Amino acid sequence: MPSGNDHVELTLDLVAGVTDRGLRHPRNEDAMALASAVAAGGPVALAVVCDGVSSSSNPDEASQAASQSALQVLLAAVRNGSDLSEASVRAVRAAQEALDELADTAGSRFNAPSATFVAAVVMAGKITICWLGDSRAYWMDASGAVGSRRLTVDDSIAQELISRGVLSEAEALASPQGHVVTGWIGADAGQATPHVTSFEPDGPGAVLLCSDGLWNYQPDVAGLAGMALPGALTDPLGTAAALVDFANEAGGSDNITVVLIPYPPTDRRRDGDTSQLAVTEIGEHPAT
């Protein structure tokens, strides 16, 4: 039976995303949670993307619970003016606690529900990225591929092989264990320490968050930038949908999630409307 979140499109004024089952998986085990708010320094866009680990139990529920729990912590931090690097770590802990609870509820600690994690908080002058696993974040520079770059380093066997110089990127990703993750959130992950980084863009562009269902087919930053720009700057939802279509046309072997956040964030909401929240829910198409 197809699930209600096999294909979901979410859009807020500052951020948009699309998640899709792909062509070969029986269900969508990815999830995304998006929010926008107006802080003291101006509008802020937030997003979390999680990819459920298919070999674990209830991976679809894991990605849902993790993304939603983490986003609530990040949104509270934006509203309170808290340090976003510290808040990112707390967000991962909240996601971890949610999966601990899910494992207890489902009686599945032996094969604990697990997911990868990547989050972004985008405000004028600063972008904060946090991750565990192989879901990725990219900076798409408005000037083109030259200024675009990947912001995350995978926690995976493939990345270890590449870093040690054992295999090339293409060889590592094609190896049987290439997509085995070495960092994740879940009841069996212990006190995994997330990676947190921040940077100040020197011009306009867009942040791209995605699961490996996209980058499997285009791991090259310049190639992704060529597909995402300039559409990501003015039509993030349409561009995210086009990237999902590309992944499906290339084979659709995995679930696909793409989130785009134009930079700098520009608020177009009515006075008094200070925040928006959109999340994918199991079994239904959500309204923004």
Secondary structure (DSSP) of 99-153: HHHHHHHHT-GGG--EEEEEEEEEETTEEEEEEESS-EEEEEETT-GGG-EE---
Q: Which pair of tokens denotes residue 179? A: 């997509």
Q: How far apart are CA 177 and CA 140, in angstroms?
A: 29
Do 3 and 27 touch, CB atoms closer than 8 A?
A: yes
Bridge partners, residue 279, by sequence = 33
In this structure, the number of other CB atoms found within 10 A of the CB of residue 100 comes to: 19
Count of CA atoms in the C-beta half-sphere (13 A) of 129:
21
Q: Which residues of 62-79 are buried (b: 16+ CB within 10 A; e: fewer)?
A: bbbbbbbbbbbbbbebbe
Which amino acid makes up residue 119? A
Among 197, 202, 198, residue whose Cα is nearest residue 142:
202
| Structural domains present in the chain | 7-279 (3.60.40.10)
CA distance 207 to 137: 7
What is the pLDDT at residue 144?
84
Specify the pLDDT at position 283: 38
Whether the Cβ atoms of residue 31 and residue 283 lie closer than 8 Å to each other:
no
Running DSSP on this structure, what letter comes out for residue 192? P
User: How far is the C-alpha of 161 from the C-alpha of 226, rounded, in Å?
Assistant: 28
pTM for the complete prediction? Answer: 0.91
pLDDT in tens, the chain (288 residues): 445 689 999 999 899 999 999 999 999 999 999 999 999 889 999 999 999 998 888 899 999 999 999 999 999 999 999 999 999 999 999 999 999 999 887 666 667 899 999 999 999 999 999 999 999 999 999 998 889 999 999 998 988 888 888 888 888 878 777 778 888 998 777 677 899 999 999 999 999 999 999 999 999 999 999 999 999 999 999 999 999 999 999 999 999 999 999 999 986 544 444 567 777 654 333 333
Amino acid 64 reads Q
Query: What contacts 47, CB < 8 A, 6 or more positions away?
Result: 15, 17, 32, 33, 34, 35, 71, 119, 120, 207, 209, 259, 261
Question: Strand, helix or coil at 91?
Answer: helix
Give the pLDDT score at 167.
Answer: 84
Q: Which residues pair with 257 in a beta bridge?
A: 19
